[in-house]
Amino acid sequence: MEKILNIPSENWTSPTSFDPGIEQIIIEDTLDTEKKTGIRTRFVRFNPDAGTKEVFLHDYHEEVYLVSGDQILLDKDTLELKHKYTAGEYFIRPAGTHHGPFKSYDGCVLLEIHYY
């Protein structure tokens, strides 16, 4: 059955594992990290000046579309700007790819797809 969502007006949540100012909407989540199967589709929103402090590494593939705003790749040691991404960019990260930490100066919305 088709599902239609109005993303800006959906109920965004801030899981305890997220850094402050970062929220998500889970669209679909059958990702099972123990069985190494499934897929997760979600939107992630960074409020202006929100950011992460850790480098991410996982055993599933990740594809990310930067829907709006900016996302800043920070140097893992100094947390200084390493690269600025803008709306319309698409990231393909095979399993085992180190990525982050990230920040957004103006805020951003990401569409993320995680899968085995």
Instruction: Determine whether 60 is exposed, middle or buried from the number of CB atoms within 10 Å of its CB (0-12, 13-18, 19+).
Output: buried
Cα separation, 49 vs 46, whole angstroms? 8
Confidence (pLDDT) at 84: 98
Residue 55 lies in a domain: yes
Q: How many domains does the chain have?
A: 1
Q: Give 10-residue mean pLDDT values along the chain (116 residues).
A: 93 95 98 98 98 96 99 96 98 98 98 99
Q: Which residues contact 11 (CB under 8 A, 6 or more apart)?
A: 25
Domain carrying residue 69: 33-115
Confidence (pLDDT) at 46: 98
Domain CATH code at residue 58: 2.60.120.10
Task: Return the bridge partners of 34, or none.
Answer: none
- 54: tokens are 């850790």
Confidence (pLDDT) at 55: 97
Residue 87 lies in a domain: yes
Confidence (pLDDT) at 31: 99
Residue 107 lies in a domain: yes
C-alpha angle with apex 21: 90 to 9, nearest 5 degrees? 75
Residue 68 lies in a domain: yes
Confidence (pLDDT) at 44: 99
Contact 106, 49 (CB under 8 A): no
Residue 47 lies in a domain: yes
Residue 78 lies in a domain: yes
Residue 66 lies in a domain: yes
Cα separation, 68 vs 78, whole angstroms? 26
Contact 110, 71 (CB under 8 A): yes
Confidence (pLDDT) at 79: 93
Residue 6 lies in a domain: no
Does the CA dihedral 74-76-82-86 come out positive or negative?
A: negative
